Structure 1
């Protein structure tokens, strides 16, 4: 057959970030956040990750990570790619010393990578809670008590009284990701409270997004996770409709239109 008589080629979607390219600074031993972002991302949204080491999921271990020169290096590495937004994907690390600390972290990231928009898991969480008009909340986390207490303080200093909470007291990062989704579902249901207008699931190495729709159906209220909120806030900041359906009412305004096999 003459080449000119061949039908036009059919291209498959290849992961191209033609809608937006998201840069993620994430924990080296963690496996949940970038995987869940990719699960929620519609064709056209790509995720590009760089990593930093976390010695232990304790206040001391988190502080050691945040004071390491690796953090600036990680930001500059992922920021050297043509990304549209850079997210720091550590919830406890960004709320460790309160709201001012989180704002200072964003300012440092903007200095390290000028011209790239920046967010953190904690900033995104507050924006997501505002989006669903949350007031009082319930909190579920896998943290040790000291880190869990800082999560409560962060929420409450930002106007979200925590009326019920529970934590699993896990101090090893790899163990966080090993909690089965069924146990996460049960933990979140256990913290529900009549006065809680929403439930927040903290930690970006703690599986959550696969259970959010089922939890919202069971509880009749918004369920926000740190991973889900971070991804949503990236899309919201960039004004991109790039989420797949099925990951919570938070994405109501950010759902992608149906795409063909090429993702365009």
Structure 2
């Protein structure tokens, strides 16, 4: 046998979730959350998606989606795969009727998909805001006024006074993803105020994670997005350190720690 034939084969990285497999329920017309999760994922973390139809990004459209039988079917399909965490990737859909509704959604998903740990974009958001020690927040969303108002109510009923806010009034799911990240950056810069301890960017079909590091450097405070928070929380409850660097202080505590030191 020559030296070449005795050599061990070299395999390329293939995306296998050897460290963690995240199961994602996502809107059929959406594209952002999967892409941003894969962008943040370190080797060994995989994302597997099942989709449900969102008729329109309005209170009525979201309710129609959440009451359709496809939600249960999506959870059951994902639960049949060997995933570690199941994430419901709809922020407005999980905060629409408040905290108790979000908690009830998690219990439904657990009953439909027993085995994996479960979170939602809204539950993850609250956990992320706690992680960065946020108090009052500024809120940036692409939503129509009715959905935007529900976001404010959800944050405030969970102890985060919304001291500044702005929304783009978009009711088409595909149009959400057409907003360039430069416009998202400008929206967040404009909504910031000294009274806000952190900024929350809501919506999982709204490009944001690529701008978070630049925003935190410019503003000197934590910036949390729904997708970033969801990915972080999936890793947290899976007990896996599986994020690439550069996606905000949520993953390393940098800005939150700096802010605390400035108060002493």
Short-chain TM bin: over 0.9
Shift of 1:97: 0.2
Asked if 1:76 is matched to 2:76, the reply is yes
SS at match of 1:178: coil
Shift of 1:6: 3.4
Asked if 1:196 is matched to 2:196, the reply is yes
Shift of 1:8: 1.4
- After superposing the two structures, state which structure 1 stretch, 185-194 or 4-13, moved more: 4-13
Is the 2:79–2:115 Cα contact (8 Å) retained in structure 1? no
Is the 2:140–2:166 Cα contact (8 Å) retained in structure 1? yes
Task: State the partner residue of 1:261.
Answer: none
Is the 2:50–2:77 Cα contact (8 Å) retained in structure 1? yes
Task: State the partner residue of 2:152.
Answer: 152
Structure 1: runs of 5 or more not aligned: 254-264
Task: State the partner residue of 1:18.
Answer: 18
Length, aligned pairs only: 253
TM-score (norm 1): 0.94
TM-score (norm 2): 0.94
Is the 2:42–2:242 Cα contact (8 Å) retained in structure 1? yes
Asked if 1:220 is matched to 2:243, the reply is no
Shift of 1:114: 1.3
Q: Deviations over 1:56-108 (max 9, x none)?
A: 00000000000000000000011110000100000000000000000000000
Shift of 1:5: 4.1
CA distance in 1, matches of 2:186, 2:113: 41
RMSD: 1.1
Structure 2: runs of 5 or more not aligned: 254-264
Matches within 5 A, 1:26-37: 26-37=26-37
CA distance in 2, matches of 1:216, 1:94: 26
Q: Deviations over 1:188-226 (max 9, x none)?
A: 000001010000000000000000000000000000000
SS at match of 2:200: strand
Indicate the structure with greater helix content.
2
CA distance in 1, matches of 2:119, 2:126: 11
Is the 2:78–2:113 Cα contact (8 Å) retained in structure 1? no
